[in-house]
Amino acid sequence: MRARYSAFVCRDADYLLATLAPEKASGFDQDQIRSDRCEWTGLEIIATDKGGILDQNGIVEFVARFRDRGTDHVLHEISRFERRNGNWLYIDGKFPEQGNLKTVLNSVNIGRNDPCPCGSGKKYKKCCG
């Protein structure tokens, strides 16, 4: 996961394509990745589930910050990865507000009055909770 984030930062479209599940590759836009329109400014790993040496799949919840055409944005995603032929591939991702895999990540205990992990600055109960 961190390697894919680094590839976004460095605009390494070849690496991103190589670590993308082949069934997802048809919609991959290498030119967009290589453009200088987007500047990645930070990554915070919120939680992980599996993804170890002996696992064949894993889930990573993260918050990535980026600037697109001068405007700051936050991407909060729960990504699924699968090991195929010894290599980790990105399968897909869901956004927490869409009803998703968050229940699998039971190691994340966020209180209703805690700051939302999406980075909005709002309380969790008023944002993604």
Note the pLDDT tens digit of each residue in 78-123.
999 999 999 999 999 998 865 444 434 444 456 677 776 666 677 7
pTM of the model: 0.70
By C-alpha distance, which of 57, 65, 64 is closest to 104?
A: 57
Q: Residue 96: give the domain boundaries.
A: 2-126
Q: What is the pLDDT of residues 56-73, one digit of tens each?
A: 999 999 999 999 888 999
CATH code assigned at 12: 3.10.450.50
Q: Is the dihedral of CA 7, 13, 14, 20 positive or negative?
A: positive
How many structural domains comprise the chain? 1
Bridge partners (DSSP) of residue 66 are 40, 73
- Please give the C-alpha separations between residue 78 and each of 35, 47, 53, 62, 101, in angstroms, as whole numbers: 25, 9, 20, 6, 7
For tokens 């390494």, name the residue. Answer: 12
Q: What pLDDT, on a 0 to 100 scale, did the predictor assign at position 20?
A: 95
16-36 average pLDDT score: 91
pLDDT of 40 strictly over 70: yes
Q: What pLDDT, on a 0 to 100 scale, did the predictor assign at position 91?
A: 95
Which regions of the chain does DSSP assign to beta strands (E)?
38-50, 57-68, 71-84, 87-94
